[in-house]
Structure 1
Amino acid sequence: MDAAMSSYTLPGLNISKSNASKSRHKFSTHACELTCRSSSSSSTTGSTFQKLQLDTLAQNRNLVGKTFCSAGAWVHPLSSTESHSHVEEEKVGVLLLNLGGPETLHDVQPFLYNLFADPDIIRLPRLFRFLQRPLAQLISTLRAPKSKEGYASIGGGSPLRKITDEQADALRLALEAKKVAANVYVAMRYWHPFTEEAVQQMKRDKIQKLVVLPLYPQYSISTTGSSIRVLQDLFREDKVLSGLPVAIIQSWYQRGGYVKSMADLIEKELQSFGSPEEVMIFFSAHGVPVTYVRDAGDPYKDQMEDCIYLIMQELKARGINNDHKLAYQSRVGPIQWLKPYTDEVLVDLGKQGVKSLLAVPVSFVSEHIETLEEIDMEYKELALESGIENWGRVPALGCTSTFITDLADAVIEALPSAAAMTTSTTVSESNSSNQDPVGYAIKMLLGSFLAFIILLAFPALKNQSI
């Protein structure tokens, strides 16, 4: 491991954080790949994630501009037969990880339950873990009405699955154009198609090598970390999966293709303002609780700050020297989240006399509730009320051609490092409930009562949408 890297220790994985965000290098590093290693025997269990590699890539990108999923413009001269012939000897799979979202208003409450039942979202002390599901049930029930209003305002459900499916198709075609035939699967953490569904389909397709690609540019315990934990559980319990060579791309915000794609979108949207040079570039990222960073070593904050630095350096290289600001949105409950908060910063900018603002959803690559409702409606209204006169918003990357091409490059670069994934054995809550159903039922009843008391003490848990 490079001496410039310092280690984070998280449950089930080792993560290294580059000091690039501290030193602010003048060059861009590229994909951070965390590969899954095994010992000499594929049946040996142990630590899954042992190494974080910083890839450097000095490769120019020829595709420019953007192509959105709905345009269906991913056309290339290669036929399916031509592209498949180059990798006939092995069946490659790419697994895209994403959050998921309710597709109808009826799905909202169970989606919220799945979200809050995740111990990587609400991190309870070990002594109180039995409260996880009762608390999730109560929070999801109380929050569902307001959340339904938000989803109703954007058409009655989340477009995330449709967009992610389109990204999967675009990535498959981009890989074929590079002579790599691969099946691309979508695995959602909290709604269909769940990770378990995607993994079963991979088994049916007899995939022989797998690249896991989270659709989160920056790593966080609550996003990529949570999805990887599910994969660990599935692979540990399956003899076939335990021997499957896997490479996991841990984060990719440093990649030149991603940085340039973001800069392209910002540059284009700036031109819609009367005086582009006077526009404040306002990066709004999804927040995480401060305790994730302070106590659990989550690298998300450092990676986000480094990401903004790289994008602004790219813009400055193009002669764009606008002021910029980073803030965090979507906080939940009474605990402290990463600051500054988006809503508070918008009010402050208005007081400071900022008149033109371009919002950039930097941690999202697909449109969903937090861009279409929270940014486009709530934050826009707040900004205009606070004195900002000209509002704009950069669209999510979606199927922008340079972005998808760079993801394809990341997959190809990761393939040689694939190795069998093994995990340490633990007893899950579901297994313990099967072994002792009476004890589990008692815990659920007691937990429901205690969770109700907690909600009475902290009513803010039910007052915000997601």
Structure 2
Amino acid sequence: MSATSYSGVLSQTKLLGSNLNCSTHRRFPTSCRLSERISTSRVFLSSCSSTSDKRNGMLGRSHHCNPIEKRNPVGQTFCSVGVCTHRGVDVESNSHATEERVGVLLLNLGGPDTLDDVQPFLFNLFADPDIIRLPRLFRFLQKPLAKLISVFRAPKSKEGYASIGGGSPLRKITDEQADALKIALEAKNMPVNVYVGMRYWFPFTEEAIQQIKRDRITRLVVLPLYPQFSISTTGSSIRVMQNIFREDAYLSRLPVSIIKSWYQREGYIKSMADLIEKELTIFSKPEEVMIFFSAHGVPVSYVENAGDPYKDQMEECIYLIMQELKARGTFNEHTLAFQSRVGPVQWLKPYTDEVLVELGQKGVKSLLAVPVSFVSEHIETLEEIDMEYKELALESGIENWGRVPALGCTSSFIMDLADAVIEALPSATAMSTSRNTSEAVDQDPMIYVIKMFFGSILAFVLLLSPKMLVAFRNKLF
């Protein structure tokens, strides 16, 4: 697409007749296709096939994907309605005829593909300083601690993954969402390359970024598949991306727009309301059903000490969904709780398991669980909610249980993501390449050696002290 035609394409944020339909199939439950209004040949040219090479961690896609690993902070950021742009120098085109190549990077958590992947996946998760936030003085303990936690947690986690088929479906579903988004954008006259970057498993965010560079993308929209922003999800992936961009001459000049959160978008809110309404009709007395929003939790310290906006955004998200339902004539009671806590620290309350018991004791008989922070099915919906929480609810006196499915490739949801990409694209600017003072100190060789020396001693004590080990295991596992 030429530079002169680019601005015209951006103005076409709405194109009639570009609806997506999602089909339900046993083998590909979230696969999407274009409406019959789009020709078969175009669907064929736009569709994606994906193959994986586990040996090098690359995800081969017909027109996107490929990722690696590193880190980074940004310069000053300016955010409006969930879109975050970075002030910097725009990429200079060598010629006025330079072809515009637009890329979209989808960010997600990732998950183990097989049971053998569970322990290394957990290590990657807990080695992330945005997941376990250690004081700066003790950050060399990050990897030894992550190793310890992952080894102890792996057996229990393997049982959970075994119960849902032996691995996480997250990668497959995210690939299908990427394909659907590409088709939706092309239906809106916006040809793009769509890339998938996982934070803790293949294809890694780093790998996707390297493929973006190889494809010579000239403008990029980063779209985390987390509706609400949290330091531990979107923030962690963006930090990795910023580190890589800062150290690369090409990437540091690439115009980028980051959609930091999108929980307040009308398309998302209406899509969630649609799913809730549909599931309510399954109950014999829909008006008596309690709508139970269960969101992934974060430690309280993230919110109180680090300024994480996750809790506020989640509460606003629930309010918007309920307002939409009320506008449609649905006035069911609702509540919000937080799941998936781990470790001895305090997490956001109320806790999902505790609330389920309380609701049963209060006489609630019908409950509809809504996994509000997840847009794809994975272990926390398929095992934690569908199995553990359902069993707990029934044991607590709740007689009728239902669960809203994750959005997946829901047509209205994918179309709204496409609109979000188009709206964000014009504000893309280059990331700052500055390094903050604390990072500069961390790079000092002498300080690094001193910290490594004392950190290794502390790690040795932690790993080998029987009392420490028993206490640690009892509290964290």
TM-score (norm 1): 0.81
Are residues 1:106 and 2:116 paired?
yes
The answer to whether 1:96 aligns with 2:57 is: no
Q: CA deviation at 1:457?
A: 2.7
- Alpha carbons of structure 1 residues 400 and 433: separation in structure 2 relative to 1, 3 Å: farther
**How far apart in 2 are the matches of 1:88 and 1:462?**
55
Do the aligned partners of 2:21 and 2:34 also contact (CA within 8 Å) in 1?
no
Alignment partner of 1:73: what SS?
Answer: strand
Flag the 1:64–1:142 CA change in 2: closer, same or farther, 3 A: same
Deviation at 1:188, TM superposition (A): 0.3
Q: 1:459 matched to which residue of 2?
A: 473
- Aligned equivalent of 1:48: none
Q: How many residues align?
A: 404
Residue in structure 2 matching 1:446, options 435, 458, 476? 458
Choose from 33, 37, 42 the match for 1:73: 33
Work out which of the residue numbers 203, 208, 221 in structure 1 matches 2:218. Answer: 208
Superposition deviation, residue 458 in structure 1: 3.3
For residues 106 and 441 of structure 1, what CA distance do their matches in structure 2 show?
33
Matched, 1:176 2:186: yes
Instruction: Say which is worse superposed, 270-279 or 421-430, in terms of deviation.
Output: 421-430
In the TM superposition, residue 126 of structure 1 has moved relative to its aligned partner by 1.1
Q: Which amino acid aligns with 1:446?
A: L
Q: Any conservation in 2 of the 1:142–1:462 contact (CA below 8 Å)?
A: no
Contact map agreement 2:364 2:398 (CA 8 A) in 1: yes
Asked if the contact 1:67/1:399 (under 8 Å) is kept, the reply is no
Tell me what 2:362 maps to: 352
Letter in structure 1 aligned against 2:284 = G
Q: Which structure 2 residues correspond to residues 129-148 of structure 1 after superposition, within 5 A?
A: 129-148=139-158
CA distance in 2, matches of 1:200, 1:317: 46
1:456 to partner: Cα distance: 3.1
The CA distance in 2 between the partners of 1:198 and 1:396, in whole Å, is 25
Partner of residue 186, structure 1 = 196
Give the aligned partner of residue 164 of structure 2: 154
Bigger shift: residues 288-297 or 125-134: 125-134
Q: Distance in 1 between matches of 2:137 and 2:448?
A: 18
Q: Determine the structure 2 residue equivalent to 1:120.
A: 130
Note the C-alpha offset of 1:129.
1.1
1:255 to 265, 268, 281: 265
The answer to whether the 8 A contact 1:455-1:461 is kept is: no
- State the distance in 2 between where 1:425 and 1:212 align: 21
Name the % identity. 72
CA contact (8 A) 1:100 1:160 kept: yes
- Once residues 190 and 177 of structure 2 are traced to their aligned partners in structure 1, the CA distance between those partners, rounded to angstroms, is 17
Give the whole-Å Cα distance in 1 for the aligned partners of 2:424 and 2:263.
15
Note if contact 1:101-1:190 (Cα within 8 Å) is conserved in structure 2. Answer: yes
The alpha-carbon distance between structure 1 residues 171 and 58, as it changes in their structure 2 partners (threshold 3 A), is: closer
Q: In the TM superposition, what are the counterparts of 1:369-408 in structure 2 within 5 Å?
A: 369-408=379-418
2:106 and 2:262 map into 1 onto residues whose CA distance is 13
Deviation at 1:204, TM superposition (A): 1.1
User: What TM-score do you get using the length of structure 2 for normalisation?
Assistant: 0.79
Which residue of structure 1 lines up, in the alignment, with residue 346 of structure 2? 336
**Contact in 1 for aligned 2:103/2:221 (Cα 8 Å):** yes
* Residues 117-174 of structure 1 deviation map (CA, whole Å, 9 limit, x = unaligned): 1110001111211111111110000100000000000000000000000000000000
Contact 1:150 1:369 in 2 (8 A): yes
Give the direction of change, closer, same or farther, for the CA distance of 1:164–1:297 in structure 2 (3 Å limit): same
Partner in structure 2 of residue 364 of structure 1: 374
Displacement of 1:425 after TM fit?
2.0
Contact 2:31 2:176 in 1 (8 A): no
Q: CA deviation at 1:203?
A: 1.0
Q: Give the C-alpha shift of residue 58 in structure 1.
A: 11
Contact 1:244 1:419 in 2 (8 A): yes
Amino acid at match of 1:457: A
Q: For residue 309 of structure 2, what is the aligned residue in structure 1?
A: 299
Quote the Cα distance in structure 2 between the aligned partners of 1:158 and 1:257.
27
Supply the distance in 2 between the matched residues of 1:261 and 1:396 (Cα, whole angstroms). Answer: 10
In the alignment, is the contact (CA less than 8 A) between 1:91 and 1:208 conserved in 2?
yes
Aligned equivalents of 1:328, 1:266: Cα separation in 2 = 19
* Root mean square deviation, CA, Å: 2.8
Give the alignment of 1:199-238 within 5 angstroms: 199-238=209-248
Counterpart of 1:269 in 2: which secondary structure? Answer: helix
